[in-house]
């Protein structure tokens, strides 16, 4: 049996430990916000956080998850108001939107570690996320817009503690 | 072999006979039974589409007592923002409050809602005026209802942002308060509609409205075809014949059935060629989840009977196309005496260009769920063409199209792939095979690349003659490419009128001798629509060659291009041997060279054309009219000593007539620029032994953030009045990008690349 948390909820999984997290999320849990795009860690559509770090859920098996805290796009914020989500909406980043959950998860992880990323840091962090609609200029702009905000929120929640 | 269901031959072989239906792409490659009688006045635009355009407000507008305004959108949302723009127009004409607007998606029902085929860059082009009529009619009905309630003449009622006002008495009613009374009124006749003064538009032309799906998309709640979940649903993937036209040979499914979660393996029959929209057949693995289905598929033991396309080989085929391009072919436009003029020209320039097959590769691969209940079928899927879906599903199930309900989800990218409902028909066949349980069918990325409807492959050969002063005196273009028509009709070996009308025949050049030929090319795979279609190879070749002629003439490429375009004038496309003109009226939608000049001049000016650049950098320019819009791009490149290409900046000037939602027009162009860069630098699908060689995004590469142009500047031409004809937006940004990029590479390096993709051709 594998135990881990999913968006803060304890999970026990007794099935095949080889099952990729992606299909567990989508087909078993019904959390379809995490997308399938390639199945081979080539496109980033399936990006989720494992203990806060961005991972490709298509290449992560349930067996890898023992004791891990998994966060999906559905759990990124309770109300959809994570600064990255807000910036994405303010700039109308999405076109078809299909890749955007993965983009947002990669961007949110980037900003947690690098509050003010350079263009090169954005390229590095986001290179694994394909957007076939090519919303890249707005992705870059939205990350920069969210950057100040993430920093401010982190700083204020830090000082409140 | 237990667990196999052999579907009846009849079900799968009920082919969509060639020529018996109107093609989803509306490219005029086949004519349906509804073709117009000879003496009927010719219809254009939306009126010429199957189902036409509907403008009855009762179909599209519902107002609740609390004022909530629900607007029904009947076009597929695939990233162009149509759900937002569609609702914006109706809401603005009604003078409604955007905060109270909700958008619902219409099911597939062309008889009720009018044409729903979302492609050809025509949702707004065909519907803007109808949407205004819907909004104006709804507004007038609300005003009338308020006037009746107050017992005052309707002329004394004004509409003010979701309210009705009687100024003389100071009375005011919310839209919701008169909703029921308004709904009971007759719809005003079209001639009595009074449109809002565009100066008072709050949303149209302004574009500060957020995307209606923005919240759902950013929170993972948005539902695409691949996300559909139904009670009791099963999951399926299909092993399909790897060669187009091939079919199942021997197979053993015992091991597949051992995989936990796999319930059944279903044989799907292969439709005979030309197979049109019909599925390819093969073996379907149906399971309790997608992963089990995928594992089961890996365990299938299958041999395939490849059929006549097993020898399709891209290298050999290219040589065939080149040979065809070097010999005379069917003449599709002829002005003057090209051969004589070439012979006597002071300079004779020849160039051949190659663009390989491309796959649309939308990020959401084709996927849909279906449930068959008796002689009825329900579909939940992402499709650009709900009506084609109904017809195709009806054919494979042998039920009437009215019995097929299509629930339209968001489309996770289409680019033309999802105009073809083969994957949806598979889901329907599998639900029937599983005794009516809902089945979701998913293409993997490999399935998507291997079993697509690819962009054509082409060789374009151009010859030009210059006189002693460097003036162009002759232009010969041979375009050789397998046609989309061959996917639907046996024996098609020439490009159709629509394909030729995408920039091959219809160049407006000031050249006294001009000929376009279209030699034969046989198709060996499924060819389909890809964002901007044949405009891609034609514009690449034509606009590269213009720059090559400019070089030979010792002229600036931008000045030379403007001279070729000549003075501003309105040309009937028929005079350019273009009988198609995107199915638009040749007068209202004449080829306007002034607008083409306009975008060239604007792009050049904005980009700082002619200003010096650092060593290793260069600018290139290209312009193209497509989908009744005009686009010109200046691409700036940097090529370092190792041959690494970067694109610091792209300026694109765009004239689509009135701009309805500027934010989405800009977004479409930003995307088109990088998609153009992607196909020019990386895009290639190739065949060996009849099979696609690319399996996923490692071998079929697309542009990622670090290689995308760093700075994309969109310049929208000043919009004319809102009653001027609208051009398309989704596609016309793509065609000028590849030639502008390759012209820039030439400017930077002196190296002329004529064969796409660039890939490592610049590497030192
Ligand atoms: S689906 Fe996991 S990276 Fe593409
Ligand atoms: S928004 Fe369509 S793939 Fe990114």
> Taking CB atoms and an 8 Å limit, are A139 and B673 in contact across chains?
no
CA torsion, ordered B159, B164, B165, B171, to nearest 10 deg: 180
| Banded pLDDT at B64 (limits 50, 70, 90) | very high
pLDDT of B24 higher than 90: no
Share the mean pLDDT of chain B: 94
- Nearby residues of B612 by Cβ (< 8 Å), 6 or more positions away: none
Is A36 within a domain? yes
**Interatomic CA distance for residues B105 and B77, integer angstroms:** 9
Is A64 within a domain? yes
Is A161 within a domain? no
What average pLDDT does this structure show over B78-101? 98
Ligand 1: centre distance to CA B423 (Å): 21
3-state secondary structure B97-120: CHHHEEEEECCCCHHHHECCCCCC
- SS3 for A95? coil
Is A53 within a domain? yes
pLDDT of B20 higher than 60: no
Range of the domain at A47: 2-76
Domains, chain B, ordered by start: 7-215 (3.30.365.10), 225-308+366-442 (3.30.365.10), 314-358+453-749 (3.30.365.10)
Structural domain ending residue among the three candidates A28, A53, A76: A76
A104 in the same domain as A64: no
A39 in the same domain as A92: no
The residue among B383, B456, B380 whose CA lies nearest residue B414 is B383
pLDDT of residue B27: 36
pLDDT of B22 higher than 80: no
Confirm or reject contact between B215 and chain A (CB < 8 A): yes
What average pLDDT does this structure show over B737-744? 99
Residue of B223, B290, B414 lying closest to A27 (CB–CB): B290
Give the Cβ contact number of residue B656 at 10 Å: 28
Query: Which long-range contacts (C-beta less than 8 Å, at least 24 apart) are formed by B126-130?
Result: B126/B45, B126/B46, B126/B49, B126/B53, B127/B46, B127/B53, B127/B75, B127/B86, B128/B89, B128/B658, B128/B660, B128/B722, B128/B726, B129/B723, B130/B46, B130/B53, B130/B54, B130/B55
Residues with CB under 6 A from ligand 1: A 36-39, 41-46, 56, 58
pLDDT of B248 higher than 80: yes
A6 in the same domain as A72: yes
A94 in the same domain as A66: no
Residue of B413, B414, B663 lying closest to A92 (CB–CB): B663
What average pLDDT does this structure show over B437-442? 98
A119 in the same domain as A69: no
A63 in the same domain as A127: no
Structural domain ending residue among the three candidates A55, A76, A97: A76
> Taking CB atoms and an 8 Å limit, are A98 and B289 in contact across chains?
no
pLDDT of residue B25: 35
A16 in the same domain as A70: yes
Residue B99 token pair: 């905060």
Mutate to test the interface with A, among B78, B118, B208, B217 (most CBs of A within 10 A): B217
> Tell me, what CATH number does A64's domain have?
3.10.20.30
| Banded pLDDT at B375 (limits 50, 70, 90) | very high
pLDDT of B504 higher than 80: yes
Whether B324 and B271 have beta carbons less than 8 Å apart is answered as no
**Interatomic CA distance for residues B599 and B601, integer angstroms:** 5
Tens-digit pLDDT profile for residues B554-608:
999 999 999 999 999 999 999 999 999 999 999 999 999 999 999 999 999 999 9
- Lowest model confidence (mean pLDDT) among A101-105, A151-155, B344-348: A151-155
pLDDT of residue A155: 57
| Residue B446 or B720, more confident | B446
A88 in the same domain as A72: no
- Distance, in angstroms, between A97 CA and closest chain B CA? 6
User: Which chain B residues are Cβ-neighbours of A133 within 8 angstroms?
Assistant: 79, 363, 413, 671, 675
Is A29 within a domain? yes
| Banded pLDDT at A156 (limits 50, 70, 90) | low
Whether B396 and B428 have beta carbons less than 8 Å apart is answered as yes
pLDDT of residue B53: 97
Give the Cβ contact number of residue B16 at 10 Å: 21
Is A129 within a domain? yes
pLDDT of B371 higher than 60: yes
pLDDT of A158 higher than 80: no
Helix residue ranges, H only, B510-592: 535-553, 557-565
Residue A28 token pair: 């078993």
**What ligand 2 atom has the least distance to the C-alpha of A103?**
4
**Interatomic CA distance for residues B430 and B438, integer angstroms:** 9
| Banded pLDDT at B38 (limits 50, 70, 90) | low
pLDDT of residue A149: 73
| Total domains, chain A | 2
Tens-digit pLDDT profile for residues A12-55:
999 999 999 999 999 999 999 999 999 999 999 999 999 999 99
User: Which chain A residues are Cβ-neighbours of B225 within 8 angstroms?
Assistant: none
A71 in the same domain as A101: no
CA torsion, ordered B559, B564, B567, B570, to nearest 10 deg: -140
Nearest 5°: the CA angle B345, B347, B349 is: 115
- SS3 for B684? coil
Is A45 within a domain? yes
Is A31 within a domain? yes
A117 in the same domain as A145: yes
A152 in the same domain as A88: yes
pLDDT of residue A148: 81
The DSSP 8-state label assigned to residue B728 in this structure reads P
- Distance, in angstroms, between B587 CA and closest chain A CA? 33
**Interatomic CA distance for residues B409 and B376, integer angstroms:** 20
Whether B290 and B227 have beta carbons less than 8 Å apart is answered as no
A71 in the same domain as A12: yes
Confirm or reject contact between A123 and chain B (CB < 8 A): yes
Strands B472-480 vs B513-518: parallel, antiparallel or unpaired: parallel
**Interatomic CA distance for residues B632 and B714, integer angstroms:** 10
Confirm or reject contact between B258 and chain A (CB < 8 A): no
Helix residue ranges, H only, B451-530: 497-500
The residue among B453, B523, B446, B364 whose CA lies nearest residue B694 is B446
Beta-strand ranges (E) seen in B177-300 are: 234-239, 247-252, 262-268, 282-287
Tens-digit pLDDT profile for residues B651-694:
999 999 999 999 999 999 999 999 999 999 999 999 999 999 99
pLDDT of B332 higher than 70: yes
pLDDT of B306 higher than 50: yes
Give the Cβ contact number of residue A95 at 10 Å: 28
| Banded pLDDT at B764 (limits 50, 70, 90) | confident
> Tell me, what CATH number does A126's domain have?
1.10.150.120
pLDDT of B526 higher than 90: yes
Q: Which residues 72-91 of chain A have a CB within 8 Å of chain B?
A: 72-74, 76, 80, 85, 88-89
Whether B306 and B273 have beta carbons less than 8 Å apart is answered as no
Structural domain ending residue among the three candidates A60, A76, A92: A76
CB burial of residue A54 (10 Å; 0-12, 13-18, 19+): buried
Residue B247, phi then psi, degrees to nearest 5: -145, 175
Tens-digit pLDDT profile for residues A138-154:
999 999 999 987 666 65
Tens-digit pLDDT profile for residues B157-174:
999 999 999 999 999 999
Percent of chain B at pLDDT above 90?
Answer: 94
Whether A133 and B361 have beta carbons less than 8 Å apart is answered as no
Tens-digit pLDDT profile for residues B176-199:
999 999 999 999 999 999 999 999
pTM for the predicted model, two decimal places = 0.95
- Distance, in angstroms, between B104 CA and closest chain A CA? 17
């Amino acid at each position: 049996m594998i135990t881990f948390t999913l968006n803060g909820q304890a999970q026990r999984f007794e099935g095949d430990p080889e099952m990729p997290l992606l299909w567990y999320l989508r087909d078993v849990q019904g959390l379809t916000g995490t997308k399938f795009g390639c199945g081979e860690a080539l496109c980033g559509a399936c990006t989720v956080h494992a203990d806060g770090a961005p991972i490709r859920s298509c290449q992560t098996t349930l067996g890898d998850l023992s004791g891990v805290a998994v966060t999906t796009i559905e759990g990124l914020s309770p109300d959809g108001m994570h600064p990255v989500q807000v910036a994405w909406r303010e700039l109308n980043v999405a076109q078809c939107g299909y890749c955007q959950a993965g983009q947002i998860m990669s961007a949110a992880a980037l900003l947690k570690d690098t509050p003010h990323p350079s263009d090169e840091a954005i390229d590095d962090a986001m290179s694994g996320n394909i957007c076939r609609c090519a919303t890249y200029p707005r992705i870059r702009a939205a990350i920069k817009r969210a950057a100040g905000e993430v920093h401010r929120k982190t700083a204020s929640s830090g000082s409140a503690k | 072999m237990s667990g196999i269901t052999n579907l009846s031959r009849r079900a799968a072989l009920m082919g969509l006979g060639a020529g018996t239906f109107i093609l989803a792409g509306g490219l005029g490659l086949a004519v349906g039974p509804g073709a117009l009688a000879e003496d009927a006045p010719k219809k254009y635009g939306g009126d010429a589409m199957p189902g036409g355009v509907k403008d009855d407000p009762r179909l599209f507008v519902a107002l609740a007592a609390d004022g909530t305004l629900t607007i029904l959108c009947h076009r597929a949302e695939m990233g162009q923002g149509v759900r937002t723009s569609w609702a914006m127009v109706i809401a603005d004409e009604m003078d409604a409050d955007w905060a109270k607007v909700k958008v619902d998606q219409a099911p597939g029902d062309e008889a009720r809602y009018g044409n729903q085929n979302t492609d050809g860059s025509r949702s707004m082009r065909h519907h803007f005026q109808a949407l205004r009529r819907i909004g104006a009619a709804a507004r007038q009905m609300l005003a009338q209802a308020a006037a009746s309630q107050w017992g005052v003449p309707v002329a004394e009622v004004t509409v003010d942002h979701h309210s009705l006002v009687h100024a003389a008495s100071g009375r005011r009613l919310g839209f919701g308060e008169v909703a029921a009374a308004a709904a009971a009124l007759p719809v005003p006749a079209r001639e009595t509609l009074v449109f809002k003064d565009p100066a008072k538009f709050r949303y149209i032309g302004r574009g500060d409205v957020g995307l209606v799906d923005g919240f759902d998309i950013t929170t993972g709640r948005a539902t695409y075809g691949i996300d559909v979940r139904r009670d009791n649903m099963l999951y399926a993937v299909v092993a399909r014949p790897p060669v187009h036209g091939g079919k199942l040979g021997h197979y053993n499914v015992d091991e597949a059935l051992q995989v936990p979660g796999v319930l059944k393996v279903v044989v799907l029959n292969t439709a005979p060629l030309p197979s049109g929209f019909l599925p390819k057949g093969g073996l379907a693995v149906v399971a309790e989840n997608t992963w089990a289905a995928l594992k089961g598929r890996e365990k299938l033991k299958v041999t395939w009977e490849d059929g006549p396309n097993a020898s399709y080989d891209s290298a050999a085929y290219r040589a065939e196309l080149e040979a065809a391009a070097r010999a005379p072919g069917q003449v599709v436009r002829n002005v003057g005496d090209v051969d004589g003029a070439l012979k006597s020209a002071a300079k004779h320039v020849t160039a051949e260009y190659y663009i390989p097959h491309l796959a649309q590769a939308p990020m959401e691969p084709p996927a849909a769920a279906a449930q068959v209940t008796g002689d009825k079928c329900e579909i939940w899927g992402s499709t650009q063409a709900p009506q084609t879906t109904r017809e195709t599903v009806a054919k494979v199930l042998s039920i009437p199209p009215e019995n097929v309900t299509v629930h339209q989800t968001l489309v996770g990218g289409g680019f033309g792939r999802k105009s073809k409902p083969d994957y949806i028909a598979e889901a329907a066949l599998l639900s029937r095979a599983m005794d009516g349980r809902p089945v979701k069918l998913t293409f993997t990325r490999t399935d998507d690349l291997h079993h697509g409807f690819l962009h054509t492959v082409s060789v374009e050969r151009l010859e030009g003659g210059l006189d002693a002063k460097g003036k162009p005196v002759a232009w010969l273009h041979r375009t050789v490419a397998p046609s989309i028509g061959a996917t639907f009709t046996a024996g098609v070996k020439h490009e159709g009128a629509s394909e030729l009308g995408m920039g091959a025949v219809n160049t407006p050049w000031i050249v006294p001798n001009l000929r376009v030929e279209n030699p034969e090319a046989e198709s060996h795979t499924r060819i389909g629509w890809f964002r901007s279609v044949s405009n891609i190879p034609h514009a690449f070749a034509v606009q590269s060659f213009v720059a090559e002629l400019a070089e030979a003439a010792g002229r600036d490429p931008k000045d030379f291009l403007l001279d070729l375009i000549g003075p501003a004038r309105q040309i009937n496309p028929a005079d350019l041997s273009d009988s198609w003109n995107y199915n638009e009226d040749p007068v209202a939608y004449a080829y306007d060279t002034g607008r083409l000049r306009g975008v060239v001049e604007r792009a050049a000016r904005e980009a700082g054309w002619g200003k010096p650049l650092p060593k290793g950098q260069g600018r290139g320019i290209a312009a193209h009219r497509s989908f009744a819009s005009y686009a010109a791009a200046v691409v700036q490149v940097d090529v370092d000593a190792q041959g690494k290409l970067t694109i610091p900046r792209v300026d694109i000037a765009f004239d689509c007539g009135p701009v309805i939602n500027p934010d989405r027009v800009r977004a479409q162009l930003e995307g088109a620029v990088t998609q153009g860069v992607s196909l020019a630098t990386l895009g290639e699908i190739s065949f060996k032994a009849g099979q696609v060689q690319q399996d996923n995004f490692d071998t079929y590469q697309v542009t990622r953030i670090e290689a995308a142009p760093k700075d994309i500047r969109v310049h929208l031409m000043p919009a004319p009045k809102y009653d001027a004809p609208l051009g398309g937006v989704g596609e016309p940004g793509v065609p000028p990008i590849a030639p502008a990029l390759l012209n820039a590479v030439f400017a930077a390096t002196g190296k002329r690349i004529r064969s796409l993709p660039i890939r490592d051709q610049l590497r030192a």
